[in-house]
Amino acid sequence: MLPIVGIVLGVMARRQIAVTHEGGRGLATAALIIGIVGTTVQVIFFIVWLSLFTYGISQAPVFR
């Protein structure tokens, strides 16, 4: 869940830039967007993996 770090740091950077009026707003916005996209992709991947895993478990033969 590494993209969550990008979201957190992007938000922190944008807040600091708003207070101090320094440069770097574009970089902070990019970190925020990449973090959101990365988190979304990871969540979708996990949902697909979990559904395929549960399907595979349900189709496995039961040995008794």
Residue 40 counted as domain residue: yes
pLDDT (0 to 100) of residue 28: 94
Chain centre to alpha carbon of residue 2: 7
Residue 64 counted as domain residue: no
CA angle 37-40-27, nearest 5°?
25
pLDDT (0 to 100) of residue 14: 95
CA-CA distance, 7 to 26, in Å (whole number)?
Answer: 14
pLDDT (0 to 100) of residue 62: 76
pLDDT (0 to 100) of residue 61: 81
Tens-place pLDDT, residues 6-18: 999 999 999 999 9
* Total domain count, the chain: 1
pLDDT (0 to 100) of residue 11: 95
User: Domain limits at 33?
Assistant: 3-59
